[in-house]
């Protein structure tokens, strides 16, 4: 049997996923597949289950899978801890990154890289890797000496998330509302960073409320999530349809109760 190329091998498969939080079902049968080299966007209103999906993919213990599977390169992730999933190539950029006063970005990134690799990273190699990505993302060297997200603007927090993604080089990146709280200049900067990290070896799952991010990042597929389900999937044009209709236009019709 011939080994498939990265472009045709599914990196991430979500199969009929049902997820509950504290006994309440949030995801009600989500199915999608993201292949290496593809960018997928998930769009939906507040409470539709988008962030639940991202946390569940990464293995947050609060989110209980009641049915379905999550596969990364064919491997079921159910029994794996978040750090084990990171070592397998999964990455999550948070909507609300946490500040860590007293810990420099340089030390944080080196520790994260060591954790993902499972071995120490030579200082020279680490510095060269970071220097390359700082330049590519247009981030000043002085950024590395600042404390993690301490006093950062919204745009700076999101740029750090993209820098982490660049340094850790995951095979599958999940970006949870990376555009949240950004002004137009910061949005363009973050979008440029994401586009710079699109490669044939990496899949990207963008989770967002608004079409505006997709003005700068053209997805291969768009999925509309409403009430814990993917109700429509299509190409980039689906985001424009959503912009004109609003989410109400995608809600499933409710059958009237029989009398």
What residue ranges define each of the domains in the chain, with the CATH number in brackets?
38-49+82-247 (3.40.50.300)
Q: Give 17's strand partners.
A: 30
> Above 90 in pLDDT, residue 100?
yes
How far is it, in rounded angstroms, from Cα 224 to Cα 209? Answer: 10
Confidence of residue 243 (pLDDT cuts 50, 70, 90): confident
**Contact yes or no for 177/157 (Cβ under 8 A):** no
> Above 50 in pLDDT, residue 9?
yes
pLDDT tens per residue, range 115-153: 999 899 899 999 999 999 999 888 999 999 999 999 999
How far is it, in rounded angstroms, from Cα 104 to Cα 146? Answer: 5
Mean pLDDT of 207-221: 91
> Above 90 in pLDDT, residue 247?
no
Phi, psi of 16 (to 5 degrees): 45, 50
Q: Using only C-alpha atoms, what is the Rg of the chain?
A: 19
> Above 60 in pLDDT, residue 99?
yes
The two three-digit tokens of residue 89, written as one number? 């190539």
Mean pLDDT of 78-92: 95
Mean pLDDT of 21-36: 95
pLDDT tens per residue, range 145-197: 999 999 999 989 999 999 999 999 999 999 998 888 888 988 998 999 999 99
> Above 50 in pLDDT, residue 8?
no
pLDDT at position 136: 87
pLDDT at position 66: 97
pLDDT at position 253: 54
**Contact yes or no for 246/80 (Cβ under 8 A):** no
> Above 70 in pLDDT, residue 28?
yes
Q: Is 217 exposed, middle or buried (0-12, 13-18, 19+ CB in 10 A)?
A: buried
Percent of the chain with pLDDT over 90: 74
Per the listing, tokens 């199969």 go with 15
Nearest partner of 169 among 111, 97, 116, 103, judged by Cα:
116
How far is it, in rounded angstroms, from Cα 165 to Cα 61? Answer: 23
Confidence of residue 259 (pLDDT cuts 50, 70, 90): very low
Confidence of residue 254 (pLDDT cuts 50, 70, 90): very low
Phi, psi of 20 (to 5 degrees): -120, 150
The helix (run of H) or strand (run of E) holding residue 226 is: strand 221-226
Per the listing, tokens 């505006």 go with 212
**Contact yes or no for 136/189 (Cβ under 8 A):** no
**Contact yes or no for 98/108 (Cβ under 8 A):** no
pLDDT at position 245: 81
Count other C-beta atoms under 10 Å from residue 183's C-beta: 11
């Amino acid at each position: 049997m011939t080994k498939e190329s990265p472009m045709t091998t599914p990196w991430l498969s979500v199969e009929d996923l049902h997820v509950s939080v504290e006994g309440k079902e949030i995801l009600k049968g989500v199915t999608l597949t993201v292949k290496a080299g593809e960018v997928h966007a998930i769009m939906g209103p507040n409470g539709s289950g988008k962030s639940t999906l991202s946390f569940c993919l990464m293995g947050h213990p609060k989110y209980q899978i009641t049915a379905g599977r999550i596969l990364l390169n064919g491997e079921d992730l159910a029994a794996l801890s978040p750090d084990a999933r990171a070592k397998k190539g999964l990455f999550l950029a948070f909507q609300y990154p946490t500040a860590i006063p007293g810990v420099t970005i340089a030390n944080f990134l080196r520790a994260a890289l060591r954790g993902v690799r499972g071995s120490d990273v030579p200082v020279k190699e680490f510095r060269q890797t970071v220097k390359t990505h700082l330049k590519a993302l247009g981030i000043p060297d002085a950024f590395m000496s600042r404390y993690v997200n301490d006093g950062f603007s919204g745009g700076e927090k999101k740029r750090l998330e993209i820098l982490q993604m660049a340094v850790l080089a995951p095979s599958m990146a999940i970006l949870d509302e990376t555009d949240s709280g950004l002004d137009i200049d910061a949005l363009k900067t973050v979008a440029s960073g994401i586009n710079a990290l699109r490669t044939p070896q990496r899949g990207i799952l963008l989770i967002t409320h608004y079409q505006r991010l997709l003005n700068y990042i053209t997805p291969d597929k768009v999925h509309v999530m409403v009430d814990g389900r993917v109700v429509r999937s299509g190409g980039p044009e689906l985001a424009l349809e959503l912009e004109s209709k609003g989410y109400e236009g995608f809600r499933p019709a409710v059958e009237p109760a029989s009398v």
